[in-house]
Structure 1
Amino acid sequence: MTPLPRARTLTAMTSLSPSSLSRIRIGSAPDSWGVWFPDDPRQVPWQRFLDEVAASGYEWIELGPYGYLPTDPAVLAGETARRGLKVSAGTVFTGLHRGAAVWDETWGHVSSVAALAQAMGARHLVVIPSFWRDDRTGRVLEPPELTPRQWRDLTSLTERLGREVRERYGLTIVVHPHADTHIDSEENVARFLDGTDSGLVSLCLDTGHYAYCGGDSVKLIETYGERIGYLHLKQVDPEILAGVRAAGTPFGPAVARGVMCEPPAGVPELGPVLRAAQRLDVDLFAIVEQDMYPCDPDAPLPIARRTRAFLRSCGV
């Protein structure tokens, strides 16, 4: 395994000028419109999502669950272009800790999403580990902790995925720590990063999920800055989170209770996170994601407008 040099600390980067602010590009995603699945009657139609995300002042979007937006690149390119939108990334779910037996099935899904993302001019593929309990029902699907063998499979196959996606599609994978997956807490995120090649695997830091699992986003940026390739901006309601943790509530029902809240009402504070990210002096997407599945179809647009205004007040 390639040794990992630690990132420059923030104290070493304080001389950077505020102009690095311009290197953070803000966007939003179907998730902020209550979209979790390719097709669900409780979700807004894709046309309404595109109309409203553009009306909210965002320029960049993610593809969301594959099949929600049109998968024909020509159709999607026309629909996004006429609304002034561009695609930053696609998203895939993987279960690579299960070993080589799942590779072919995983690659079949990844290649479809990566091809569409590439055709839309995106440069990233967000990789989310599979859930150890069902995000809708809470049913436990497998143990929440990985064995040493499963950790080896997870890290080695993620490196393979990074290599294949880069070579075939020109995309960088950014792995997304997520509640109710095996890459969640500070300990598990550090173990994953220390076990993977920095040249092949970067991180999508989701500020809400990391806080949900007890992590400190600013500390993570300070420690592993060179591995931060992408951001998801999200906050959690600390009071609801305390109840969720105490009760062991699964992620899906926790979202239905409102654990992910509208900024700036929750934690972590996004201003310090953005300032820490800016001092890395690299180009970063910062995509707003407020998990709201399911939600009133009229709720997302005013929240998105207020959130965009709040982020402008933070300087982005």
Structure 2
Amino acid sequence: MTSFAPSPTGIRIGSAPDSWGVWFPDDPRQVPWERFLDEVSEAGYEWIELGPYGYLPTDPARLRDETARRGLSVSAGTVFTGLHHGPGVWERTWAHVADNAALAQAVGAGHLVVIPSFWRDDKTGEVLEDSTLTAAQWRELTTQTERLAREVRDRYGLRTVVHPHADTHIDSEENVSRFLDATDPALVSLCLDTGHYAYCGGDSVKLIETYGERIGYLHLKQVDPVILADVVANGVPFGPAVARGVMCEPPGGVPALEPVLDAARALGRDLFAIVEQDMYPCPPDKPLPVARRTREFLRACGPARPAG
């Protein structure tokens, strides 16, 4: 696992393909990966995530070369899982996880972001399963997540951070607390996405203060409260909600990021805070100016840990 120097503690700011409108390994509406790498570096970031597996080069040597010559390092890979379905989905899930984890390890990342599967289709809104888990499904979700985290740690040296996400079963304050209370802190940490947690009615500062030892990683984003109110009132699925602009450029939405970062710094340890400006699909010239302004805004929020 990538090791951090013990002091000074702080926040390492980065960005991700998501901030360039990238949701899929290959999509004609997305910018080419070379442009993403060029522009994320130009915007002033030094850390990135891998994004959807296959978007960036999957050959580790090539990816290391492409990132290094732009002054970039990789903080994490990302996977989607449906572990509440139990052992029957393990082999298929592990095949997907192993590819991502191997690449993340090979390029020096220390984390694997695990996102639960959606209960409704994020494009069409089709309901795929009940939005509420049974007690048995909760047991499968927690035990299989621990199993995944143990395997990822033992085989690849990565820390598993589970990402509460809109339109999944780990979303609200109640469900996030239930998940954390039922999982082993030695195995499972949280990727707190400030935008998704606000989208689902949660208070990020309260969560950090309550479950500080479980906060292993941050995604920084905000929601537009006016658009969110309409999305909630009309049951709009996550994908169309993003297309409406529900995730907005800081500092124009909620939660306020300064208190979140202050609460995270108060934990007294190093954390990654990766900007994820959900805006799929978007015009190809939109992301870079937004990324620049967001980086400047975050610099004004307080000191970040130097790269290294």
Measure how far apart 1:216 and its partner are: 0.1
Q: Distance in 1 between matches of 2:276 and 2:264?
A: 17
Aligned structure 1 segments of 4 or more residues deviating by more than 3 angstroms: none
RMSD across aligned C-alpha pairs, in angstroms? 0.8
Q: Distance in 1 between matches of 2:195 and 2:269?
A: 22
Q: Which amino acid aligns with 1:160?
A: R
Q: Which amino acid aligns with 1:242?
A: A
Which of 144, 147, 155 is matched with 1:168 structurally?
155
Aligned to 1:157: 144
Which of 114, 117, 133 is matched with 2:104 structurally?
117
Q: Which amino acid aligns with 2:152?
A: V
SS at match of 1:38: coil
Measure how far apart 1:137 and its partner are: 1.1
Aligned to 1:181: 168
Measure how far apart 1:23 and its partner are: 1.7
Q: Distance in 1 between matches of 2:138 and 2:301?
A: 38
SS at match of 1:88: strand
Aligned to 1:254: 241
Q: Distance in 2 between matches of 1:297 and 1:141?
A: 32
Q: Which amino acid aligns with 1:142?
A: E
Measure how far apart 1:121 and its partner are: 0.3
Q: Distance in 2 between matches of 1:76 and 1:222?
A: 37
Does 2:134 align with 1:144? no
Q: Distance in 1 between matches of 2:280 and 2:206?
A: 29
SS at match of 2:78: strand
Aligned to 1:93: 80
Measure how far apart 1:176 and its partner are: 0.0
SS at match of 1:116: helix
Does 2:34 align with 1:32? no
Identity %: 80
Aligned to 1:205: 192
Cα deviation digits, residues 164-205 of structure 1 (max 9, x gap): 000000000000000000000000000000000000000000
Aligned to 2:94: 107
Which of 247, 255, 261 is matched with 1:274 structurally?
261
SS at match of 1:140: coil
Q: Which amino acid aligns with 2:270?
A: D
Aligned to 1:79: 66
Aligned to 2:47: 60
Q: Which amino acid aligns with 2:13?
A: I
Which of 223, 231, 236 is matched with 2:218 structurally?
231
Aligned to 1:221: 208
Which of 260, 277, 282 is matched with 1:290 structurally?
277
Cα deviation digits, residues 70-124 of structure 1 (max 9, x gap): 0000110110010000000000000000000000000000000000000000000
SS at match of 1:90: strand
SS at match of 2:216: strand
Aligned to 1:7: none
Q: TM-score, normalised by structure 2?
A: 0.96
Unaligned runs of 5+ in 2: 1-6
Q: TM-score, normalised by structure 1?
A: 0.93
Q: Which amino acid aligns with 2:50?
A: L
Aligned to 1:244: 231
SS at match of 1:92: strand
Q: Which amino acid aligns with 2:183?
A: T
Measure how far apart 1:214 and its partner are: 0.1
Which of 9, 18, 38 is matched with 1:51 structurally?
38
Aligned to 1:11: none
Q: Which amino acid aligns with 2:210?
A: T
Measure how far apart 1:53 and its partner are: 0.1
Cα deviation digits, residues 111-163 of structure 1 (max 9, x gap): 00000000000000000000000111111110000000000000000000110
Report the number of matched residues. Answer: 297
Q: Distance in 2 between matches of 1:211 and 1:285?
A: 19
Q: Distance in 1 between matches of 2:66 and 2:29?
A: 22
